[in-house]
Amino acid sequence: MRTLRALAVAAPAAALLLAACGGDDTTGGGNGDGDVVELRYAFWGSDERAQMTQDMIDKFEAENPGIRVTVDYADFGAYFDKLATSVAAGDAPDIMTMGGAYHTEYAGRGALLDLAEVDDVIRTDQISDDILAHGTIDGSLYAIPTGVNGYAMVANPTVFAQAGVELPDDTSWTWDDFAQMCTQIGTALGDAGYGAQDLTNHNTLALWARQHGEALYTEDGEVGVSTGTLAEWWEFSNQLRESGCTPPATLSEELASQSAPEQTLIGTNNGGMSLVWSNVLEALSTASGEELQLLIPPGVAGGEPGSWLGPSMYYTISARTEHPEEAARLVDFMLNEPAAAESFLTDRGLPVNTDVREAIMDDLTPVQQAEAEYLNRLEEAVGDPVPPAPVGSTETASIVTRLNSEVLFDRTTPQEAAEQMIAEVETAISK
């Protein structure tokens, strides 16, 4: 089995807290003296994700009757505050789901177990080094991706048809092409909708930067995008708003505060396109009742590939767990057992274990199969791997959201927003 020590780099996704504990006796678990081992498992998500997780836990406990796991969950917005409180109080869950750069930050605080300590339990031979590298900090593996997904332009073919606009060829379209068809859709729909929801967030800026030969963060953990590139994006975003492609500031601000699929323009069939992570296609399709389509995001004419394959989220183990081997058994089960993948399917991204991925393909819904097909296509169009997100970069998302609001309402210029963003992110990652 591949050693877990010599892997490199870290990358994007999100996180939230939940708890898990339980008990039973007999074989396949326990601490060797007949006592029940109780584990706490923390994650974020909807009631549907919680049901999937409990189904997986039931299977795990059936195979490990000496271990019981209790889960608790909350929505994404509350997770980090709750997790931070638990970790600070010395009461961290045994297994914690991480996202974005949070695994970097918690590892840096000594809160995460170096998984080399349990490399005889967690199997990694069917997970690529490129995937494992996302969870490696300073040469040690602290987090393993739950699955992979990709940034995508989701399109509603029904809205396109209503507007009399054809879907683009996503192997060659540019941002200029996007702007033209987005404006056509917005004009055709009138008061009934828009060509797209406002696109600005830190993931979009990372995509835009890479297409311009830059990066949101360098491999040295510094800001790698220029003021000019950021200002150019916000100028483009203003043009989209003014042309009727995207909503006015008041509606965009309202939509930015509503993360549920059924609250989005795509989910309500009031928008033609939106930039999303591929693993939310199922939820958006359910909300809209339409057969939505994933498109490779538009590019810059003559520019570089900007897309990347990234972890959906991460599994980590608390450095203070009293049961590292049992916690590792649960992580191994979630990563490597088809039974677990049958519970999750693509909810946590496409399985990172290639054998498991193949085993569940026939169980996927048509929408989930479309996600898998999209990732296969995207893999051929991605650029270089994304450098690690540095400690402190978890503040970037809120910085971008706040500054974007200032630009939307014309309270600051694109140039001013770009300068302020770089200054604030530099401050955040230098603390």
Ordered by where they begin, the domains of the chain are: 37-146+312-379 (3.40.190.10), 150-309+392-429 (3.40.190.10)
- Provide the 3-class DSSP secondary structure of residue 121: coil
Neighbouring residues of 75: CB distance < 8 A, sequence distance ≥ 6: 16, 44, 45, 46, 259
Q: Which runs of E-coded beta strand occur in 232-369?
A: 271-277, 293-295, 309-311, 314-317, 350-351
- What pLDDT, on the 0 to 100 scale, is given for residue 16? 28
Rounded to an integer, what distance in angstroms lies between the CA atom of residue 370 and that of residue 155?
13
Contact 231, 414 (CB under 8 A): yes
Task: Calculate the CA dihedral of residues 181, 176, 307, 212 and round it to 10 degrees.
Answer: -170
Q: Is the dihedral of CA 64, 67, 68, 74 positive or negative?
A: negative
184-243: per-residue pLDDT in tens? 999 999 989 999 999 999 999 999 999 999 999 998 889 999 999 999 999 999 999 999
Type of residue numbered 151: Y
- What is the reported pLDDT for 351? 94
Which amino acid is present at 76? F
Buried b (16+ CB within 10 A) or exposed e, 104-137: bbbbbeebbbbbbebbebbebebbeeebbbbbbb
Q: What span, in angstroms and rounded, lies between the C-alpha atoms of 390 and 393? A: 6
SS3 call for 136: strand
pLDDT in tens, the chain (431 residues): 333 323 332 333 333 222 333 333 333 455 545 689 999 999 998 888 999 999 999 999 999 999 999 998 888 878 989 999 999 999 999 999 998 889 988 998 899 999 999 999 999 999 988 889 889 988 899 999 999 989 999 999 999 999 999 999 999 999 999 999 999 999 999 989 999 999 999 999 999 999 999 999 998 889 999 999 999 999 999 999 999 999 999 999 999 887 788 899 999 999 999 999 998 898 899 999 999 999 999 999 988 889 988 898 999 999 999 999 999 999 999 999 999 999 999 889 899 998 999 999 999 999 999 999 999 899 888 888 787 788 889 899 999 999 999 999 999 999 999 999 999 999 999 87
Query: Which conformational region is residue 13 in: left (phi greater than 0), alpha (psi within -120 to 50 degrees), or beta?
Result: left
CA 316/CA 325 separation, integer angstroms: 13
Q: With contact defined as beta carbons under 8 Å apart, do 60 and 41 qualify?
A: no
For residue 44, the surrounding DSSP H or E stretch is strand 37-44
Rounded Cα–Cα distance for residues 292 and 281 (Å): 7
The first and second tokens of residue 328, run together, are: 């590792």
Q: Are 153 and 327 in contact (CB under 8 A)?
A: no
How is residue 174 annotated by DSSP?
B
What number of helices (H) and strands (E) belong to the chain?
16, 13
Query: Taking Cα atoms as reference points, which of 52, 42, 50, 48 lies closest to residue 16?
Result: 42
3-state secondary structure of 268: coil
Query: Which residues, at least 6 apart from 91, have a Cβ–Cβ distance to it below 8 Å?
Result: none
List, as one string, the DSSP characters of 363-381.
Answer: GS-HHHHHHHHHHHHHHTT
- Torsion angle, alpha carbons of 164, 170, 176, 177, to 10: -20
* C-alpha distances out from residue 407 to 177, 249, 307, Å: 23, 9, 25
Other Cβ atoms less than 10 A from the Cβ of 254: the count is 11
Q: Which two tokens stand for residue 165?
A: 């606009």
Angle at the Cα of 425 (from 420 to 430), degrees rounded to 5? 130
Sign of CA dihedral 80, 82, 87, 91: negative
| pLDDT score of 261 | 87
The tokens describing 312, both together, are 């959906």
Amino acid type, 15 = A
Amino acid at 408: L
Q: Pick the closest to residue 135 from 252, 307, 310 (CA basis).
A: 310
Q: H or E element: which one contains 41? A: strand 37-44
pTM across the whole model: 0.79
The answer to whether the CB of 148 falls within 8 A of the CB of 25 is no
